[in-house]
Amino acid sequence: MSHASVLFPALSGGLYALAACLYALQWWRASRPLRALASLALGAGLAVNLLQLGLRWVQAGQPPFKTLYESLLLAAACIALVYLVVELTYRARLLGAPAAVGCAVVMLVALTRADREAVNLPPALQSAWFIPHVTIYFFGYASIFLAAAVAAVYLVRPRPIGLRRPDLTGGRPIALEAVFDGAVRFGFALLTVGMLMGAAWAKVAWGDYWTWDPKENWSLVTWLVFAAYLHLHYLHHWRGRRLAVLTIVGFAALVFTYLGMHLLPTAAQSIHVYQ
Amino acid sequence: MAGAADRASGEAAAGGQVAAGSGLARGFILLAAVFLAGNLLQHGLGLALGGARAWVVPGGLVCFVLGVAAGLHPRLFGYLASNRFSAPVLLCLGALTALGTLILQDLAPDQVREVYGWGARLVLGLHLHEVFHSLGFTALLGLGAAGLALTLARRRPLTWRRAGALLAHLGLLLVLAGAAVGALWGVKGRLELREGEVAEHFVVARDGRLARLPLGFQLRLDDFRLLEYEPRWRVMVFAVRGEREERLLSVDPAVPGEAAALRAHGVALLRYLPAGLPAAPQAPAAATHAILVGGTRLEVEPGRTVELPGGAGRLRVLRAFHDFVLDAATRQPRNRSARPDNPALEVAFLDAQGAEERRTWLFARFPAFEHQADAGAAGPAPVALQYVFTPPVEPGSGQGPAVELGLAGLEEPVLLGPREPLRLGGDRVLVLAAAGGDMVRDYLSDVSVLEGGELRLRQTVEVNHPLEHGGLAVYQADYRPEDHAFSGFQVVGDPGLGVVYLGFVLNLLGVLWVVFFPRGLPWPRRRAAGAGGGA
pLDDT exceeds 90 at position B421: no
d(CA A123, CA B456) in angstroms, rounded, equals 27
Domain boundaries, chain A: 1-116, 124-266
- Name which of B515, B516, B519 to mutate to probe chain A: the one with the most chain A Cβ atoms within 10 A of its Cβ: B515
Strand partners, B450: B218, B455
What is the sign of the dihedral through the CA atoms of A224, A230, A233 and A239? positive
What pLDDT score does B367 carry? 59
Burial of B64: CB neighbours in 10 Å, binned 0-12, 13-18, 19+: middle
pLDDT exceeds 90 at position B437: no
d(CA B95, CA B89) in angstroms, rounded, equals 10
In this structure, are residues B244 and B460 in contact, taking their beta carbons and an 8 Å threshold?
Answer: no
Average pLDDT of the segment spanning B243-269: 84
Give chain A's count of helices (H) and strands (E).
8, 0
Q: Residue-wise over B124-149: b if at least 16 C-beta within 10 A, else e?
A: bebbbbbbbbbbbbbbbbbbbbbbbb
How, if at all, do strands B422-425 and B314-321 pair? unpaired
- The answer, for B516 touching chain A at a CB cutoff of 8 Å, is yes
Is CATH 1.20.120 the right assignment for the domain spanning A1-116? yes
Strand partners, B489: B191, B476
Tell me what percent of the residues of chain B surpass a pLDDT of 70.
81
- DSSP-derived letter for residue A91 is -
What pLDDT score does B102 carry? 92
Burial of A260: CB neighbours in 10 Å, binned 0-12, 13-18, 19+: middle
Q: What is the pLDDT of residues A146-189, one digit of tens each?
A: 999 999 989 988 877 765 666 666 667 778 888 899 999 999 99
- B98: which chain A residues are within 8 Å (Cβ-Cβ)? 217-218, 221, 253
Is the pTM higher than 0.90? The answer reads no
Average pLDDT of the segment spanning A32-40: 89
What pLDDT score does B18 carry? 42
What pLDDT score does B96 carry? 94
- A116: which chain B residues are within 8 Å (Cβ-Cβ)? 250, 435
Type of residue at B339: R
d(CA B259, CA B235) in angstroms, rounded, equals 8
How many residues are present in chain B? 535
What pLDDT score does B142 carry? 87
d(CA A220, CA A222) in angstroms, rounded, equals 5
pLDDT exceeds 70 at position B180: yes
In this structure, are residues B96 and A212 in contact, taking their beta carbons and an 8 Å threshold?
Answer: no
- The answer, for B332 touching chain A at a CB cutoff of 8 Å, is no
pLDDT exceeds 50 at position B8: no
pLDDT band at B360; cut points 50, 70, 90: confident
Q: What is the pLDDT of residues B132-168, one digit of tens each?
A: 888 888 889 888 888 888 888 887 777 777 888 899 9
In this structure, are residues A246 and A253 in contact, taking their beta carbons and an 8 Å threshold?
Answer: no
Average pLDDT of the segment spanning B397-404: 70
Average pLDDT of the segment spanning B175-189: 90
d(CA B138, CA B57) in angstroms, rounded, equals 9
pLDDT exceeds 80 at position B533: no
If DSSP codes are grouped into helix, strand and coil, which group holds residue A218? Answer: helix
For residues B399 and A99, the model is more confident at A99
What pLDDT score does B438 carry? 82
Interface of A with B in 97-156 (CB under 8 A): 116-120, 122-124, 126-127
- ipTM confidence score: 0.91
What pLDDT score does B379 carry? 52
Closest partner residue to B435 among A117, A126, A185, by Cβ?
A117
CB contact under 8 A, B464 and A126: yes
What pLDDT score does B207 carry? 73
Helix ranges restricted to H, B384-520? 497-516
Q: Which residues contact A74 (CB under 8 A, 6 or more apart)?
A: A53, A64, A65, A134, A135, A138
| Listed residue (B174, B516, B148) closest to A190, CA to CA | B516
d(CA B138, CA B39) in angstroms, rounded, equals 10
Rounded to the nearest 5 degrees, what angle is found at the Cα of B366, between the Cα atoms of B360 and B372?
Answer: 20
Alpha-carbon distances of A188 from A134, B172, B243, rounded to whole Å: 15, 15, 41
Alpha-carbon distances of A70 from A13, A102, A115, A232, B231, rounded to whole Å: 14, 16, 8, 36, 21
Interface of B with A in 4-23 (CB under 8 A): 7, 10-11, 13-14, 20-21, 23
Q: What is the DSSP string of B308-361?
A: PGGG--EEEEEEEESBEEE-TTT--EEESSSS-SB-EEEEEEE-TTS-EEEEEE
What is the sign of the dihedral through the CA atoms of B264, B269, B275 and B276? negative
| pLDDT mean across residues, chain B | 81
d(CA A267, CA A249) in angstroms, rounded, equals 22
Closest partner residue to B515 among A188, A238, A269, by Cβ?
A188
What pLDDT score does B423 carry? 76
For residues A215 and B339, the model is more confident at A215
- Name which of B464, B474, B479, B519 to mutate to probe chain A: the one with the most chain A Cβ atoms within 10 A of its Cβ: B464
* E strands present in B258-323: 267-273, 288-293, 296-300, 305-307, 314-321
- DSSP-derived letter for residue B19 is -
pLDDT exceeds 50 at position B211: yes
pLDDT band at B260; cut points 50, 70, 90: confident
Average pLDDT of the segment spanning B285-304: 78
What pLDDT score does B460 carry? 96
In this structure, are residues B168 and B514 in contact, taking their beta carbons and an 8 Å threshold?
Answer: yes
Give chain B's count of helices (H) and strands (E).
13, 25
pLDDT exceeds 70 at position A132: yes
pLDDT exceeds 70 at position B470: yes
What pLDDT score does B397 carry? 44
Q: Which residues contact B139 (CB under 8 A, 6 or more apart)?
A: B34, B35, B37, B38, B58, B59, B62
Q: What is the pLDDT of residues A216-231, one digit of tens each?
A: 999 999 999 999 999 9
Average pLDDT of the segment spanning B362-389: 63
If DSSP codes are grouped into helix, strand and coil, which group holds residue A45? Answer: helix
Residue of A nearest to B187 (CA): A207
